[in-house]
Amino acid sequence: MNIPAQAPLHLLHTAAVGTLATHARQPEGFPYPSVLPFAPDEQHRPTILVSRLAEHTHNLHADPRAGFLVVDAPDGDVLNGQRVTLLGTFEPVDPAPELVARYLRYHPDAERYLVLGDFTFWTMKLDRLRYIGGFGAMGWLGGDELDPLPVLEHDEEDALIGEFADAVSDACGYRLIGVDRYGVDLRQNGLRKRFAFESAKLDMETLRAALEDCIRRRAN
């Protein structure tokens, strides 16, 4: 069944935690699942912050192939909720200032782990994904089908957040933590909300208009 790529994309921006399935070293080859917080990067790929001592980190060094499950079932009914299983490889990434700043917007409590010097960032390179949006709504997508549009650059996202953060907070009490061409990410008291645009926004002018619409709707 064909599924719209925006459905799993929005889900990756809605959930705050996922289940990482690596390949165990002992006993060799068995799936080794771990629950981890994550943040979507500018290409909507999961970025995780893991300890060098963690078993799943050792597993990734031995075999970077992994699965990553993300679920959104706020009423507890997982069979009718949304979920997406990502297949791909995790790669360690340098803690560039823009990456760290973005991750901390999504998970501000992670700053205490960064100061330890033992934690590293990894980002998933997507191969395929399977999305299930409820009974009868499911399908596969290639990793490159998730978002065919040019990414919104860090400086553009930062400019939009700087311009609209106060207005969003005043309108609804949420903190604006992320902007992309398909929607905005909001956070309040540790809970994440996704405001999806009606259509993709291809330039800064239409993104600003979409953010103004978000503010109007949240204010009402």
81 lies in the same domain as 189: no
pTM of the model: 0.94
Tell me the CA distances in angstroms from 53 to 50, 60, 103, 134, 184, one per residue in order: 8, 12, 21, 37, 34
**How far apart (Å, rounded) are the C-alpha atoms in residues 10 and 205?**
22
Q: Is residue 12 located within the same domain as residue 87? A: yes
45-82 core/surface letters (b: 16 or more CB in 10 A; e: else):
bbbbbbeeeeebbebbeeebebbbbbbbeeeeeeeebb
Among the listed residues 160, 153, 196, 154, the one whose alpha carbon sits nearest the alpha carbon of residue 176: 160
Domain containing 46 — which CATH number? Answer: 2.30.110.10
The CA-to-CA distance between both ends of the chain, in Å, stands at 37
Quote the CA–CA distance of 49 and 53 in Å, as a whole number.
12
CA distance 133 to 116: 39
**Per residue of the chain (220 residues), what is the pLDDT tens digit?**
678 889 999 999 999 999 999 999 999 989 999 999 999 999 999 999 999 999 999 999 999 999 999 999 887 788 888 999 999 999 999 999 999 999 999 999 999 999 998 999 999 999 999 999 877 789 999 999 999 999 999 999 999 999 999 999 998 899 999 999 999 999 998 889 999 999 999 999 999 999 999 998 876 6
In this prediction, residue 76 carries a pLDDT of 77
The number of distinct structural domains making up the chain is 2
Whether 45 and 101 share a structural domain: yes
Q: What is the model's pLDDT at position 219? A: 63
Write the CB contacts of 216 (distance below 8 Å, at least 6 apart in sequence): 171
Last-in-domain residue among 145, 169, 185: 145
Boundary of a domain, candidates 145, 177, 195: 145
Give a yes or no: residue 92 inside a domain.
yes
Where residue 210 sits, what CATH number does that domain have? 3.20.180.10
* Residue range(s) defining the domain that contains residue 158: 154-219
Give CA–CA dist 48/36, Å, rounded: 7
